[in-house]
Structure 1
Amino acid sequence: MVELLGTHCEYPECNTLDFLPIYCFHCEKTFCKRHGSAPDHSCISLQQTNLENSTSNSPFLPCAYSNGCKSQKSPISFTCSLCLKNFCVEHRHVDDHECPNRAQQQPMTHYASQTNKSEPKATSNYPTEKFVGTKNEALANKVAIMKLKQRAKGPVGVPMENRLHVFVEIDEGDGNNKRYPFYLSKLWPLGKGLDYLTKELKLLSANRIIILEREQIQLDLSSTISDLKQLHDADVIILRKT
């Protein structure tokens, strides 16, 4: 069960299990903290592009690690939610930059025990990670999707290329809607996805429809998810009683 909490690094010579993996939006693979930056995993994008979208419009901030940091500058800097200082990928975790406020963070054993109960957490309960250097809209969208992919819960065994990552909102008619990060298999009929979400979110048995929030349209439950061209990664879908 513990392995389900993290993701194995896709760097060929590593395969380390990381509880906070890093998704590279250039090569679309997931890596541990040691191989998170493009140079560290020899990203193919370094040979194909000069990364204009991620460098020309964004300021670079130095890593605030007090003992010194030898990492190359990155167009994305992580702000620690505890000490509010900026760090590179290598030192983004509270233990890695020896955060003076890390005593405020719950231990991993508590996190694991809560997650093993298979109860999805609403997005409002997640610690906030602020991303610096995302003035470029396309880069900002990629970062948002990257964060969603790191946190989404979904069926085991679905390859990354077959996953659709969405925020799921439950509309019970009381105005107290919460959103949960999930991924579904693009090869499923949407109706199967609804059955899966109903079970995982422990919803009472009821007839429900799925609404695409962005366009306020009802989605066809008989359609295969990959055929729903109006549905994209990071969209919000609403589960609503009929």
Structure 2
Amino acid sequence: MVELLGRHCEYPDCNTLDFLPVYCIHCSKTFCKRHGSAPDHSCLSLLQTNSINSSNSPSLLPCAYTDGCKNQKSPISFTCSLCLKNYCVEHRHVDDHKCSYRSPSPPTHHSSQINKNEIRTTENFSKEKFIGTKNEALANKVAIMKLKQTAKGPAGIPMENRLHVFVQIDDGDGNNKRYPFYLSKLWPLGKGLDYLIKELKLLPANRIILLDREQILLDLSATINDLKELHDADVIILKKI
């Protein structure tokens, strides 16, 4: 039996057989020529090393959310703009660390109509800002790279055309589980909604898409790439009306 030469690229969704593979000294993985450099395969090991080396403090900031958090020694931290405590990437949002200063959740609607006044629109939308975070851009990049490794979507969409998001279903049952997906930036958002309903095996129902935290109603007729308020690693909610 002839032994195969070369190695398969370890970058997610690639797996190309390369006869001159590139070995990354940071993460100890093997990649094809296209994903050989650390930036091309979004090397998490290099990002974390740079974060530690660039920190002015030799100690790692623990996440203030202690209820089951596994990132108590994270080299990257966010400071909540409300309670001013430090949190890891996973618990950086006010809802994720159950911030005591957050606004109360809107009441659950049992009627078939949703109150439009309770939905934030893009006109009064302002992005949440994190203060005191030296490595905010780096932390966001790490979070996006982790999402890209687990996200599910059509294999035929090129990497540069993918928008990676967390999807949450709001059927009024209190289920807050989030599912990692990617959609094509060239799709109308309505097509993305149809795809998610099919993949998540949801029962037929009229649904809208809200952007989490600010409860922004997104336009289903707009192309995803034209929705400037929607970014990688955002949480979108499929709400039944």
TM-score in terms of structure 1 length: 0.53
> Residue deviations 1:66-98, cap 9 Å, x none?
xxxxxxxxxxxxxxxxxxxxxxxxxxxxxxxxx
The match for 2:142 is: 143
From 29, 37, 40, give the equivalent of 1:41: 37
From 60, 76, 92, give the equivalent of 1:134: 76
1:215 Cα deviation (Å)?
1.9
Whole-angstrom distance in 2 between the partners of 1:178 and 1:42: 32
The match for 1:223 is: 222
> Residue deviations 1:88-141, cap 9 Å, x none?
xxxxxxxxxxxxxxxxxxxxxxxxxxxxxxxxxxxxxxxx78884324222111
From 51, 55, 58, give the equivalent of 1:57: 55
Alignment of 1:167-206 (within 5 A): 167-206=166-205
Change (3 A) 1:170 1:34: same
Alignment of 1:116-131 (within 5 A): none
Task: Name the SS for the 2:228 alignment partner.
Answer: coil
Uncovered stretches (5+) of structure 2, i.e. residues with no partner: 1-10, 41-46, 60-69, 78-134
> Residue deviations 1:180-222, cap 9 Å, x none?
0000000000000000000000000111000001321110000
TM-score in terms of structure 2 length: 0.53
Change (3 A) 1:134 1:237: same
Whole-angstrom distance in 2 between the partners of 1:129 and 1:153: 24
Asked if 1:14 corresponds to 2:21, the answer is: yes
The match for 1:163 is: 162
Query: Does the Cα contact within 8 Å between 1:211 and 1:217 map onto a contact in 2?
Result: yes
1:56 Cα deviation (Å)?
1.5
Uncovered stretches (5+) of structure 1, i.e. residues with no partner: 17-21, 25-30, 45-50, 62-127
What amino acid does structure 1 have at the position aligned with 2:212?
A: E
Structure of larger gyration radius: 2
1:178 Cα deviation (Å)?
1.3
What amino acid does structure 2 have at the position aligned with 1:14?
A: P
Whole-angstrom distance in 1 between the partners of 2:201 and 2:238: 13
Query: Does the Cα contact within 8 Å between 1:11 and 1:35 map onto a contact in 2?
Result: no
Whole-angstrom distance in 2 between the partners of 1:191 and 1:9: 31
Query: Does the Cα contact within 8 Å between 2:22 and 2:30 map onto a contact in 1?
Result: no
Whole-angstrom distance in 2 between the partners of 1:131 and 1:8: 32
Query: Does the Cα contact within 8 Å between 1:211 and 1:218 map onto a contact in 2?
Result: yes
Task: Name the SS for the 1:173 alignment partner.
Answer: coil
Whole-angstrom distance in 1 between the partners of 2:28 and 2:58: 22
Alignment of 1:73-112 (within 5 A): none
Query: Does the Cα contact within 8 Å between 1:214 and 1:235 map onto a contact in 2?
Result: no
* Same amino acid, percent of matched pairs: 64
Q: How many residues align?
A: 152
